[in-house]
Amino acid sequence: MRRIEFGAWVFFELSDPDSHIPFNSWHQLEYLPTVKTIESVSSSAMWVVSPDCRDYSLIRDSKFADVQYIWGVLVDDDADSFESDLDRIDTNSLDQIQLKLSVTERLRMIGRHCESSALTRTRISDKAISYRPHLGIFVVVEVGAPTHEPLIGLPGVSGSSQFGPNEVGTEQPEYVTVYWLDDDPVDIALALIKALRDQGEATQNVVYATTAVTIYPCEWDWFE
């Protein structure tokens, strides 16, 4: 099994309300399959922060207020090599340029993989949890060292993976903790957010937390 060394995470929204279907069509059916041909990429997926998910989001930094999508890439090799390979697969077609112009990024990070955990009930190892099929994610973004207590034992959570700064000594380092969900993300969103809020001061470094639904081809009508 390929060992995860880094995770690339992009949080963004689309400024053009009419671009959701063409953007997802391009990203899911053209761009994402090509990204997966990069030798260092072990897995990649995109999730939508649908209006139902956003209703239960925890937002303490206004830059995350309008986030609609989260794109993640798991990398098993050098991060610089991955970024170089990613640049090379980008084409400059007019359609792609127009689609990219509608993207407003709120956070882009390539973080070193810190740790992963899998629930015993999944009957797989910690290092396999990110490859297990899931219905969505609950993501927690923290500025500074993670302070929240892990939510690994809550219903619908099958495991977690955490990513931190790529370089030691980074000022205001950002950490992304991803909880892998095997229950409907919308159905368990309230319970997850409540469990996080109930931790009080332990969430002092949390700037954003939300559920997001795994995107499947041709299911792109969330914002219509």
* pLDDT 10s digits, 47-57: 999 999 999 99
**Segments forming the whole domain that contains residue 126:** 6-214
Per the structure, the count of domains in the chain is: 1
Query: What average pLDDT does the chain have?
Result: 90
Asked whether residue 65 is domain-assigned, the answer is: yes
pLDDT higher than threshold 80 for residue 5: yes
The pLDDT, as a whole number, for residue 145 is 87
Residue 31 lies in a domain: yes
Query: pLDDT class for 99, splitting at 50, 70, 90?
Result: low
pLDDT of residue 51: 96
The reply to whether 220 falls in a domain is no
Helix (H), strand (E), coil (C) string for the chain: CCCCCEEEEEEEEECCCCCHHHHHHHHHHHHHHHHCCCCCEEEEEEEECCHHHHCCCEECCHHHCCCCEEEEEEECCCHHHHHHHHHHHCCCCHHHHHHHHCEEEEEEEEEEEEEEEECHHHCCCHHHHHHCCCCEEEEEEEECCCCCCCCCCCCCEEEEEEEECCCCCCCCCEEEEEEEECCCHHHHHHHHHHHHHCCHHHHCCEEEEEEEEECCCCCCCCCC
Domain membership of residue 119 (yes or no) is yes
Is residue 221 included in any domain, yes or no?
Answer: no
More confident residue, 201 or 96: 201
Task: Please tell me the predicted confidence (pLDDT) of residue 131.
Answer: 92
> In the predicted model, what is the mean pLDDT of residues 12-31?
90
Looking at the domain assignment, is residue 160 inside a domain?
A: yes
| Domain at 207, CATH number | 3.30.70.100
pLDDT digits (tens, 9 = 90+) for 150-192: 999 899 999 999 999 876 545 668 999 999 999 999 999 999 9
Encode pLDDT of 124-133 as tens digits.
999 999 999 9
Q: Could you tell me if residue 219 is inside a domain?
A: no
Name the percent of the chain lying above pLDDT 90.
65
